[in-house]
Amino acid sequence: MSSVPSDELYPIAVLIDELKHDDVSLRMAAIERLSTIALALGPERTRSELIPFLEESLDDEDEVLTVLAEQLGSFVPFVGGNQYAHVLLPPLESFAGVEEPLVRDKAVESLNNIANEMTASQVEEYFLPLAKNLTTADWFTSKVSVTGLYASVYQKVSSQSKAGLRQLFGQLVYDDAPMVRRAAATHLTGLISHIDAETVVTDIVPFFLYLAQDDQDSVRLLTIDVLIAVSRLLGPELVREHLLEQLKKLFVDKSWRVRYMVADRFEQLAVAVAAGDESVLKTHFVPAIVRLLKDSEAEVRTVIAKQIPGFCQLVGRETVLEEILPCIEELVNDSSQHVRAALATKISGLAPILGKDLTIKYLLPMFLQMLKDEFPEVRLNIICKLELVNNVIGIDLLSQSLLPAITQLAQDKQWRVRLAIIEYIPLLASQLGMEFFDTQLRDLCMAWLHDNVYSIRDAATENLKNLTKVFGVAWAKTTIIPKVIEAGSNPNYLYRMTSCVAATTLAPVVTIDVIKDDLLPFLNNLVADPIPNIRFSVARSYETVQKLLLEKAAEGEIDSDAMDASTDEDAKARELRIAEANEIIRDVIVPNLEKLKEDEDVDVRFFANKSLQAIG
């Protein structure tokens, strides 16, 4: 504190002070605002003083270094524009060699940014030596980092330097450390897009062949993306000449991780390597997919199952029938549930390829079997994608075969099975349409309201609510609500109770008019029910219903079949509706609740009082 104030405020002194904090977050904040320091110094002194200071004296936590590496990437304007951009390279070069991957990644990102802002001659002068230094460094971290730089440097330099760069990159490909080879394989794809086809054949293909035979499977699996990138560039003939042999080896690699990669990219590979060439597809890719579909590793089968429709689109229909379909039939009974679930999402995609007759003949049996699968996700996936099949074979044929399966499940002896199918009914209904549902499935849904098991009845009432969301209020008013009300006169009080609960559950999704005209009178009838359980559940329902009446009136919810009163949207109409709702509550609900309040049963009195309190 003894020094002259002008020294105290000297920007680098300020920075040094800030970097002396013990608190890492404060040091990070200081570095994050490093641009302020540079701005205060001006470009000239930033170059001559700040950058050397950072280069020499900064030895800090990895978090701080990460932030610094990131900052330096956007520092070009602060050192005086791109003709001075090279002064930023030395600190970043040392960051590219540190041990912590996060710092290195940021440094590489920043170096790429700077390279993009440099002119071609600058890149030649400053970046090439840097790339060389890092490539020939002792420690593998620098080599790993530098692989990410080649693509941006390569596209800027002269053709002479390009040849040199390719050679340098070769050193990385043939490096002893698998970490370096992995990084080289990863970044080879980016580099390829800047190279012309001829040079790729002479220079890059050998790299690929070398890496694809690596004894580490983690290196081999990275070459598949390289293969796709190379194939896109070369065109089918050259690919067949140079790469096909290696590809065939990758198809049957002994490491499942490599086969997984192959399976995951199978469609892309087929497009890139054999685009439009039937013979290559048939002789090489079809046997490969058949083998992968029968792979010993479940993960491989899962990913290849997802590629089925895409690949089948490429090969002809006959091939699919003869070669692939038998394997799919086996997968339907696969021992792994994940494989079956993956297949279930994609198998419907085959319907448009096979056409109507073949779909009925081959695919439908598989569908029906998967619908009965014990794993719920398989069933769900099949039902989700039903629309694709529906478009091909038509609703009539689909329903003929699907309906028996659904009804069978709906009437299964095990209540958990019944419950499982109920959950899919709304989805199924939206896929199959209202007409189909009304003729085939509606009675089923109603029958569930009379199930012996409470959980089924409960799920069935929720189901009705969801169906109303799918098909609309008008549909509910004409088809569901009369049935529900009818069930309210069942001699067994449990079923009357279900009706009461169903009416309450439906209330939120229908309009005021439906509540007023249909549901409310129904509830009023139950007030005089001989069983107290019904009476108090009515008392509870009133509370929900009155709340909904007020809410809906306030929202001014419009529906297609609503009266004129709710179609004009001005405040006056709203007032009117609220007044009307209050009137209903006052004239209908409150008197009934008052009656229930005097009930002989203590529970009925309790719930009636509670509802009255809620009305206020």
Partner 1 sequence: NERDRIQWEIEKAEMKARIARLEGEKRGNERLIESFVRRINMLEKSLAEERAKLGNAM
For residues 2 and 236, give the distance between their C-alpha atoms in angstroms, rounded to a whole number. Answer: 77
In terms of Cα–Cα distance, which of 178, 226, 224, 177 is closest to 205?
226
Eight-class DSSP state of 77: G
Closer CB to partner 1, 21 or 248, in the complex: 21
Q: Are 489 and 497 in contact (CB under 8 A)?
A: no
In terms of Cα–Cα distance, which of 320, 263, 265 is closest to 293?
263
For residues 468 and 54, give the distance between their C-alpha atoms in angstroms, rounded to a whole number. Answer: 67
Q: Is the dihedral of CA 344, 345, 350, 351 positive or negative?
A: positive
Q: How far is the CB of 54 from partner 1 (least distance, A)?
A: 17
Interaction site with partner 1 (CB under 8 A): 6, 9-11, 14, 17-18, 21, 23, 25-26, 29-30, 33, 36-37, 39-42
CB proximity list for 580: less than 8 A, separation 6 or greater: 553
Q: How far is the CB of 31 from partner 1 (least distance, A)?
A: 12
Closer CB to partner 1, 30 or 460, in the complex: 30
Q: How far is the CB of 6 from partner 1 (least distance, A)?
A: 7
Closer CB to partner 1, 17 or 241, in the complex: 17
Q: How far is the CB of 16 from partner 1 (least distance, A)?
A: 12
Closer CB to partner 1, 45 or 265, in the complex: 45
Q: How far is the CB of 9 from partner 1 (least distance, A)?
A: 5
Q: Are 448 and 426 in contact (CB under 8 A)?
A: no
In terms of Cα–Cα distance, which of 421, 494, 519 is closest to 463?
421
Q: Is 561 helix (H, G, I), strand (E, B) or coil?
A: coil
For residues 510 and 481, give the distance between their C-alpha atoms in angstroms, rounded to a whole number. Answer: 10
Residue type, 600: E
Closer CB to partner 1, 39 or 137, in the complex: 39
Q: How far is the CB of 14 from partner 1 (least distance, A)?
A: 5
Alpha carbon of 346 to those of 161, 304, 387, 398, 513: distances in Å? Answer: 49, 10, 12, 18, 44
Closer CB to partner 1, 9 or 197, in the complex: 9
Q: How far is the CB of 52 from partner 1 (least distance, A)?
A: 19
For residues 12 and 40, give the distance between their C-alpha atoms in angstroms, rounded to a whole number. Answer: 10
Closer CB to partner 1, 21 or 294, in the complex: 21
Closer CB to partner 1, 10 or 362, in the complex: 10
Q: How far is the CB of 92 from partner 1 (least distance, A)?
A: 25
CB proximity list for 312: less than 8 A, separation 6 or greater: 320, 324, 350, 353
